Amino acid sequence: MVVKSNEEFKNAVLSTLSFSEIKSEHYTLYTNKKKPELGYLISYSRDGYYNLGIADYTIPKDFSVSFDNPEFLMRFGIVYEGETEFIIEDRPVSSFTPSTFFVVEKDLKGQQNWKKGQHFHGTEITIFESYFNDVIQPNFPNIMDFNAFIRNYTYIYLPLEIVEIIRQLQSLSYQNALTSIYLESKILECIAILYNEVTRSSENAFTNQINYGNINIGKDRVIKLTSSDINAIQKAHDILEKNYSNPPDIKTLSKMVFLNEQKLKAGFSKHYHMSIGEYTNHLKMRVAANLLSTTDLSIEEVAHKVGYNYSANFSKMFKKVYGKTPLKFRKTK
């Protein structure tokens, strides 16, 4: 069987997982009550316009799905765990591993394969063409030029603001506190962030993944970034994200990714639009804000969890980033 739409694709996967539908006020839960160990899929939808899917499930058997989908789709999200093999027509076999991702699809043909026992965990937002045609274009004409993206190409980096939104939506879902109006507001915010990203400069988070360009080392030295360099920089990014409370210094990080310090620092700034130090601090403050909002940990405990030995230093940096002290921030949440 060849599926012809995103909905058919989803149904084929759910059928193989033996999941049944359980509707709630704001979302639909797909699971197998007799085999809860297989996991679940939570789906928030505005039919025909967009969908937020939060998945955490285990594959019960080897299977594959062939697709020939003419639909225009924009998909982006975070894969925390799981690796899928897929074949896109006229391209070599590829696999998708844990990372953030962004893709604009149209006339997509190929096959996707899963293996028994694989565990998948991730969150994805899918926006359909009708949402752009019926909602975005009438109110915000010419806001998005989809030619800015390569069709059917999976980018593996999202602007950090969108990553934060996706994690926030996932967190609210787990608290059973995600409403449809709040979700739509965040869908619109993601579209606005994407628009700003691709229009502010010809070199942005997406073009930088294809056209690696040059970087300046010092005042007069210009070096071209290679595909290997980009992979090393992305690996450095992942290491920092996993070790935000105690990140390696530049020298150690350079050795871990096999890229010299100068190229690592300059390449990271070009690729992620911030220095390594700024990114590390961004991660610390983002985690701290989440802890302050969702836990009863003391300010000192939060400070230690994000790598500060002294809460005064932590509070000073937190206020610089969020405009208020940790205590006042907590009271507003």
Flag whether pLDDT at 93 surpasses 70: no
The residue extents of the domains of the chain are: 2-199, 212-273, 279-332
Among 283, 284, 226, CA closest to 260: 226
Cβ partners under 8 Å of residue 112, min gap 6: 64, 65, 67, 84, 85, 86, 87
Give percent of the chain above pLDDT 90. Answer: 61
DSSP3 helix / strand / coil % (the chain, rounded to 5): 45, 25, 30
CATH 3.30.430.20 fits 2-199, yes or no: no
**What number of H helices and E strands is found in the chain?**
13, 14
Spatial distance between the Cα atoms of 154 and 65, rounded to a whole number of angstroms: 19
- Calculate the alpha carbon distances from 38 to 18, 24, 56, 198 in Å: 9, 20, 8, 39
User: DSSP string spanning 185-211?
Assistant: HHHHHHHHHHHHHHHS-SS-TTHHHH-
What pTM was computed for the model?
A: 0.64
Flag whether pLDDT at 223 surpasses 70: yes
Q: What is the pLDDT of residue 227?
A: 65
The CB density around residue 104, as the number of other CB atoms within 10 Å, is: 22
> pLDDT tens for residues 12-65?
999 999 999 999 999 999 999 999 999 999 999 999 999 999 999 999 999 999
CB-CB contact of 83 with 18 (8 Å): no
Flag whether pLDDT at 285 surpasses 70: yes
Q: What is the pLDDT of residue 208?
A: 66
Using pLDDT thresholds of 50, 70 and 90, give the confidence band for residue 215: confident
Flag whether pLDDT at 203 surpasses 90: no
Average pLDDT in the 216-227 region?
Answer: 73
Q: Reduced to 3 states, what is the DSSP secondary structure of residue 144?
A: coil
- Calculate the alpha carbon distances from 97 to 59, 121, 242, 279 in Å: 16, 11, 16, 23
Beta strand pairing call for 73-81 and 221-224: unpaired
Identify the weakest region by mean pLDDT among 7-11, 104-108, 171-175. Answer: 104-108
- Calculate the alpha carbon distances from 72 to 111, 191, 282 in Å: 18, 15, 34
Q: What is the pLDDT of residue 94?
A: 57
> pLDDT tens for residues 104-134?
999 999 999 999 999 999 999 999 999 999 9
Question: How many residues would you count in the chain?
Answer: 333
At the top level of CATH, the class of 279-332 is: mainly alpha
